[in-house]
Amino acid sequence: MLYDAVLELADDHLVLGHRLSEWCGHAPMLEEDLALPNMALDLIGTARTLYDHAARLEGQGRDEDALAYLRGEREYRNLLLCERPNGDFAHTMLRQLYFAAFMAPYWQAALGSEDEVIAGVAGKAVKEMAYHIRHAGEWVIRMGDGTDESAARMRAAVADLHIYTGELFEDGAGDAALPSRAEIRPAWDATIAGIFAEALLDVPEVPFPQTGGREGRHGEALGHMLAEMQALHRAHPGAVW
């Protein structure tokens, strides 16, 4: 069903956008205090269009805020990767690279979608994701090939996060209007291999990938994130903001 597939995508973007927004005002340098919200805004903007689209497809009178604020963690369908807590700057940038390296070819493939909204989102997002790969990729290289400490932190981030990347390629709800996620794998592998080579990082073998987000089986961190995000909205049912 297109509704389910669009909702999955929307959840990915909102959850990751929210995570990035947590950095605002707390980044390692002022330039990143500007760059991280910038990337967060790209993701939240895409999420809003997708939620609005999902709500129309569903036709039950819900809107973007009902979908974002009034579903609990078992109803969220985002990738586990997107909900991972920020950790240090190495974790945040690697998580961003993993996601953008997937979404860039995904949106590229979605440019010709028969669904006009999806094709429209793809046209905008394909440029944004290219920038996210560049920004996050350059940081992964700087940290991987920086100081001993930064290299160790970068390797730790790979060890922590790589186990969540297999889920990117699961087709989940799927729909003919959307690209096949499994087919994105070669492009993603190539992007990561290129950046890891420069960052002096090895691509690890993952015997048991962590999955479950698409079925609403999340890690423990998502519930806390949603509790914070939804508290005010839920405290005033029906209020207009």
Partner 1 sequence: MYSQGLIGADGRTEETQDFLDRFQRRIDAEEKIEPMDAMPAGYRKTLVRQIGQHAHSEIVGMLPEGNWITRAPSLRRKAALLAKVQDEGGHGLYLYAAAETLGVSREEMTEELHCGKAKYSSIFNYPTLSWADIGIIGWLVDGAAIMNQIPLCRCSYGPYARAMIRVCKEESFHQRQGYEICMALAKGTPAQREMLQDALNRWWWPVLMMFGPHDADSLHSDQSMAWKIKRFSNDELRQKFIDATVPQAEYLGLTFPDPEMRWNEEKGGWDHGPIDWDEFWRVVKGFGPMACDRIAARRKAWEDGAWVREAALAHAEKRRARKMAAE
Q: Which is nearer to partner 1, 21 or 211 (CB)?
A: 21
Nearest approach, Cβ of residue 239 and partner 1 (Å): 5
In angstroms, rounded to a whole number, what is the distance separating the alpha carbons of residues 154 and 50? Answer: 32
Q: Which is nearer to partner 1, 27 or 177 (CB)?
A: 27
> Could you tell me the two tokens for 145?
């090939």
Q: Which is nearer to partner 1, 152 or 176 (CB)?
A: 152
Nearest approach, Cβ of residue 206 and partner 1 (Å): 26
> Could you tell me the two tokens for 127?
């440029």
What does the DSSP 8-state code read for residue 22?
T
Q: Which residues bind partner 1 (CB under 8 A)?
A: 14, 18, 21-22, 24-34, 37-38, 40-41, 44-45, 47-48, 51, 64-65, 68-69, 88-89, 141-143, 145-147, 149-150, 153, 228-229, 231-233, 236, 238-241
| Buried/exposed code over 204-241 (b: 16+ C-beta within 10 A; e: otherwise) | eeeeeebbebbebebeeebeebbeebbeeeeeeeeeee
Give CA angle at 96 (94, 221), nearest 5°: 90
CB 154 within 8 A of CB 145: no
Nearest approach, Cβ of residue 166 and partner 1 (Å): 28
Nearest approach, Cβ of residue 172 and partner 1 (Å): 23
CB 211 within 8 A of CB 61: no
Q: Which is nearer to partner 1, 51 or 76 (CB)?
A: 51
With the C-alpha atoms ordered 83, 85, 86, 87, is the resulting torsion angle positive or negative?
Answer: negative
CB 67 within 8 A of CB 57: no
Q: Which is nearer to partner 1, 68 or 178 (CB)?
A: 68
Nearest alpha carbon to residue 84 among 95, 94, 93: 95
Nearest approach, Cβ of residue 241 and partner 1 (Å): 4
CB 165 within 8 A of CB 193: no
Nearest approach, Cβ of residue 173 and partner 1 (Å): 22
The tokens 């499994």 sit on which residue?
182
Q: Which is nearer to partner 1, 30 or 205 (CB)?
A: 30
